[in-house]
């Protein structure tokens, strides 16, 4: 989870310095995939009760919001490319 969770920000930072719109979309798409993976690990931690499920609810909500934001950015940029 540490790897996928921190990769989100790293890919967004790389996207800010993208060499092209296609590169930007690629970096943000990778960030979105990493956010989805992080959401998976949060659900797994909750289901296995490694951490109390109630303590993960806010993180899961934030992860969902982040996925929605990244998805929206990617869609807008793809529409600009067409």
What domains lie within the chain, and their CATH numbers? 2-81 (1.20.1440.60)
Q: Where are the beta strands (DSSP E) in 11-81?
A: none
Q: Are the beta carbons of 67 and 51 closer than 8 angstroms?
A: no
Evaluate if residue 8 carries a pLDDT over 90: yes
11-51 pLDDT, tens digit each: 999 999 999 999 999 999 999 999 999 999 999 999 999 99
pLDDT at 81: 76
Tell me the mean pLDDT in the region 1-16.
96
Q: What is the rounded CA–CA span in Å between residue 70 and residue 32? A: 6
pLDDT at 28: 98
């Amino acid at each position: 989870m540490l790897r996928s969770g921190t990769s989100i920000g790293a890919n967004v930072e790389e996207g800010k310095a993208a060499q092209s719109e296609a590169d930007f979309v690629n970096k943000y798409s990778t960030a979105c995939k990493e956010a989805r993976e992080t959401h998976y690990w949060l659900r797994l931690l909750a289901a296995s009760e490694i951490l109390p499920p109630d303590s993960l609810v806010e993180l899961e909500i934030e992860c969902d919001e982040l996925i929605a934001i990244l998805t929206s950015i990617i869609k807008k940029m793809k529409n600009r490319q067409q």
